[in-house]
Amino acid sequence: MSITIRDVAAAAGVSTATVSRALRGLPHVDAETRERIERVAKQMDYVVSPSASRLASGRTGTIAVITPFFARWFFSTVLSGVESVLQREEIDLLVFEVGDPAVSYRMPPEQRLRGRVDGLLVVALPSDEAEVAELLALGLPVSLIGASAEGVPSVGIDDVAAARTATQHLINLGHERIAIITGQPNPTGFTPASDRERGYRETLAAAGVSLDAQHRAHGYFTVAGGEQAMTSLLAEPRPPTAVFAASDEMAFGAIRALRRHGLVPGRDIAIVGLDGHDLADLLDLTTVVQPVRDLGRMAADALVAQLRLPVADRGAAVKATLVPTTLTVRGSTVP
Amino acid sequence: MSITIRDVAAAAGVSTATVSRALRGLPHVDAETRERIERVAKQMDYVVSPSASRLASGRTGTIAVITPFFARWFFSTVLSGVESVLQREEIDLLVFEVGDPAVSYRMPPEQRLRGRVDGLLVVALPSDEAEVAELLALGLPVSLIGASAEGVPSVGIDDVAAARTATQHLINLGHERIAIITGQPNPTGFTPASDRERGYRETLAAAGVSLDAQHRAHGYFTVAGGEQAMTSLLAEPRPPTAVFAASDEMAFGAIRALRRHGLVPGRDIAIVGLDGHDLADLLDLTTVVQPVRDLGRMAADALVAQLRLPVADRGAAVKATLVPTTLTVRGSTVP
DNA sequence: TTGTAAGCGTTATCAT
DNA sequence: ATGATAACGCTTACAA
């Protein structure tokens, strides 16, 4: 039905082997011959059959992104960064949405991956979970985004430092009752959550500001969770004068809670988030900005680099890249 | 290196043909034989080679989603709906981000699609654009989401009706100077934009409310655009008392503009959006809700149904499904 | 019900 | 530099 490499070979008066070499830019092909083949191929509108090529070569030219969500700012932004690289590299992008690892999620069984992809990009998943470990054990090149693990390349921010920046900002403003809205109640293997909390604690300690156990609430990284968390903080005998929310979406929820109580963020209670969410500006939220799209880009670049390497040299330079964050001050924290 | 169908066949004492049939659930396999084969296969941890299977069968078990953006609420939510279906159906999901069709976008060249997918899901792209037309001409089953075209199955909302609902709501509140923040300046083939504007116009006309040409601004479906649009509306000699924003994100921008001017949405100027954005609640925005995730699900279901059909019967029932929208009233429109 | 064997369209090895 | 040709691992007539 469709044009095959044989048709092209015949039309160009060469063997299929030569066509294959010529079209893939391999060496040992006469310049003239190559040109002719390319011309003929284009004119015949020939496209290599991916299935055949994959079967014969053992490479798929495909990578998979495994992510808890699509429909949340961080994740979709990462995805966008990833795809910009893959589009350039002409690599196919397969996606799997696995759900909140803190609740219930279903990893793609390895059967959905084996033989379909050359590499894996895992977004913000606790790398110590059994399921994630299985992925790593698949033997494919892997890159983590927004999480890290021993012996696996990763890119993310320095969560401790980012939290320090946020907390220090509140301290500089003169606050002494600084609460945190954190992600999970119990520290899991998902390090960003606990790292951010650690940065907060360390900074308070360093500044000699007391840490009140009552000034900690869980927002589960969601808007609704942030709202609940803030509400409970407000209900305390001595409510905080400032809040560090470990994610912008939780900060949004907190802002909503404030409004519901007739309080104005920045005037009545200072609040700072962490993310650099698209809509932080809209809500006038001070936040520590992480370059999320770049995270996706960099991880994809790193993975592609791995793939281009001869299999032998691959595990060589496993590094955890930390990209810098920047504080953006807005109305939610005013002197 | 890896287990092949031959290994399984040998271990089960049958031919590869029988293994193939058994494992795919085809008829004409003895129950006992099938059971044995399944047992052996599982025990050997056998997984069919996708490349080989694709090459031999001509089917890829893959569909592609082509969308302008990942990192925007509507699009990522659609994607999530799509993937929930494909995960269930065990179909691979390939994604392409093509950029804003109103600005500049790069469709995946057909070479990136041919032979790689069995079907296409096209999200919110103007189907009369040459590039989109090319996709349709690819001969693959296609389903459109949030846009429609002659002879192509699609799912979306009734944009005219949704806009009517929004506008009528404002009229019911007693407003007589009702502006619109619309998407594009010029009607392109992207029907939702013009349909929403049409619904607005028709409703005003039906209610005998005059239509002021000054009460129309372009928000380009973005927050920033919406803010600019609202700002320009406010600058007019007789500013509107109510605004219909053709998307929630533009409404968000409008709200921001209001705040900047010291105006309170709902009290000083009524505003209603269209989308049912996650954060509409946060911003207390009245909006006409479309079931976006369902849109993705339904389109995926429809496409999968097509794929399961014998090739001959495919073009049969090309229908444009319109799903209902509902008005959610919040603080941005109070009596 | 099961087996045989001819593809499917490349890639890659080994000659030439 | 080019050509023959054996894989690659499965599906699917067709035969038995």
pLDDT digits over A67-79, tens only? 999 999 999 999 9
CA angle B47, B52, B57 (to 5 degrees): 110
Segment (H or E) for A321: strand A320-323
Which of B210 and B172 is assigned the larger pLDDT? B172
One domain for residues B231 and B285: yes
Would the CB atoms of A83 and B96 count as touching at under 8 Å? Answer: yes
Tell me the CA–C1' distance in angstroms for A28 and D2: 9
Beta strands in B77-177 (DSSP E): 92-97, 119-123, 142-145, 154-157
For B185-200, what is the mean pLDDT? 83
Cβ–Cβ contact B244 with A under 8 A: no
Q: CA nearest A59: which of A287, A308, A282?
A: A308
A53 touches strand C (CB under 7 A): yes
One domain for residues B20 and B79: no
Segment (H or E) for A97: strand A92-97
B273 Cβ contact list (under 8 Å, min separation 6): B166, B245, B247, B248, B250, B251, B252, B280, B285, B286, B287, B288
Which structural domain range is residue B189 located in? 159-289
Residues in B touching A52 (Cβ below 8 Å): 55
Tell me the CA–C1' distance in angstroms for B62 and C1: 32
One domain for residues B193 and B301: no
pLDDT at B127: 74
Residue A98: inside a domain, yes or no? Answer: yes
Q: In angstroms, rounded to a whole number, what is the distance separating the alpha carbons of residues B295 and B293?
A: 5
Q: What is the pTM of this model?
A: 0.96
One domain for residues A33 and A101: no
Residue B328: inside a domain, yes or no? Answer: no
Residues in A touching B92 (Cβ below 8 Å): 94, 112, 116
A139 Cβ contact list (under 8 Å, min separation 6): none
Segment (H or E) for A322: strand A320-323
Cα–Cα distance list, B57 to A52, B21, B43 (Å): 11, 13, 26
Here the contacts of A184-188 (C-beta below 8 Å, separation 24 or greater) are: A184/A102, A184/A218, A184/A220, A185/A218, A188/A101, A188/A102, A188/A126, A188/A128, A188/A129
Would the pLDDT of A151 be above 90?
A: no
A17 touches strand C (CB under 7 A): yes
A93 Cβ contact list (under 8 Å, min separation 6): A62, A63, A64, A65, A82, A83, A86, B94, B95, B96
**What is the signed CA dihedral for B116, B119, B125, B131, rounded to 10 degrees?**
50
B68 Cβ contact list (under 8 Å, min separation 6): B75, B97, B98, B99, B100, B101, B105, B123, B124, B125
Among B95, B221, B292, the residue to mutate for chain A (most A Cβ within 10 A): B95
One domain for residues A237 and A122: no
pLDDT at A312: 74
One domain for residues A80 and A137: yes
pLDDT at A15: 97
Which of B232 and A317 is assigned the larger pLDDT? B232
CATH number for the domain that contains residue A204: 3.40.50.2300
Residue B203: inside a domain, yes or no? Answer: yes
Residue A332: inside a domain, yes or no? Answer: no
Among B95, B116, B279, select the one facing A50 at the smallest CB separation.
Answer: B116
One domain for residues B243 and B300: no
B35 touches strand C (CB under 7 A): no
One domain for residues A204 and A266: yes
Among B47, B50, B252, select the one facing A282 at the smallest CB separation.
Answer: B252
Q: CA nearest A175: which of A270, A274, A268?
A: A270
Q: Are strands A142-145 and A154-157 parallel, antiparallel or unpaired?
A: parallel
Cβ–Cβ contact A49 with B under 8 A: yes
Q: Tell me the three state secondary structure of residue B161.
A: helix
One domain for residues A51 and A13: yes
From B287's Cα to the closest Cα of chain A, the distance in A is 18
Tell me the CA–C1' distance in angstroms for A15 and D3: 6
**What is the signed CA dihedral for A178, A180, A185, A186, rounded to 10 degrees?**
-80
Q: In angstroms, rounded to a whole number, what is the distance separating the alpha carbons of residues B89 and B86?
A: 5
Which of A27 and B105 is assigned the larger pLDDT? A27
Would the pLDDT of A262 be above 90?
A: yes
DSSP B303-321: HHHHHHS-GGGTTTT--EE
Interface of A with B in 204-223 (CB under 8 A): 223
Would the pLDDT of B189 be above 70?
A: no
Residue of A nearest to B88 (CA): A108
Interface of B with A in 65-104 (CB under 8 A): 69-73, 75-77, 79-80, 83-84, 87, 90, 92-97
One domain for residues A149 and A178: no
Residue A334: inside a domain, yes or no? Answer: no
Residues in B touching A93 (Cβ below 8 Å): 94-96
Residue of A nearest to B95 (CA): A93
Residue A24: inside a domain, yes or no? Answer: yes
Please say which residue of B15, B32, B57 terminates a domain: B57
For B167-179, what is the mean pLDDT? 97
pLDDT at A281: 94
Q: In angstroms, rounded to a whole number, what is the distance separating the alpha carbons of residues B135 and B235?
A: 44
B156 Cβ contact list (under 8 Å, min separation 6): B144, B145, B146, B147, B148, B192, B295, B320, B321, B322, B323
Task: Dig out the tokens for A127 from the structure.
Answer: 């790398």
Q: Report DSSP state, residue A13.
A: T
Which of A132 and A69 is assigned the larger pLDDT? A69
Would the pLDDT of A317 be above 90?
A: no
Note the pLDDT tens digit of each residue in B110-150: 889 999 999 999 999 887 777 778 888 888 999 999 998 88
From A243's Cα to the closest Cα of chain B, the distance in A is 18
Residues in B touching A73 (Cβ below 8 Å): 71
Would the pLDDT of A282 be above 70?
A: yes
Instruction: Look over chain A and give the mean of its residue pLDDT values, rounded to a whole number.
Output: 94
Would the pLDDT of B185 be above 80?
A: no
pLDDT band at A186 (very low <50, low <70, confident <90, very high): low
B53 touches strand C (CB under 7 A): no
Range with the lowest mean pLDDT among A331-335, B101-105, B294-298?
B101-105
Note the pLDDT tens digit of each residue in B208-256: 998 989 999 999 999 999 999 999 999 999 999 999 999 999 999 999 9
User: What total number of domains does chain A contain?
Assistant: 3
Would the pLDDT of B6 be above 80?
A: yes
From A21's Cα to the closest Cα of chain B, the distance in A is 19
Would the pLDDT of A330 be above 70?
A: yes
Cα–Cα distance list, B182 to A100, B69, B212, B222 (Å): 36, 19, 14, 10
Which of A311 and A297 is assigned the larger pLDDT? A297
Would the pLDDT of B188 be above 70?
A: no
One domain for residues A192 and A308: no
One domain for residues B167 and B269: yes
Q: In the A/B pair of chains, how many CB contacts fall below 8 A?
A: 124
Q: Report DSSP state, residue B155.
A: E
Residues in B touching A82 (Cβ below 8 Å): none
Residue B240: inside a domain, yes or no? Answer: yes
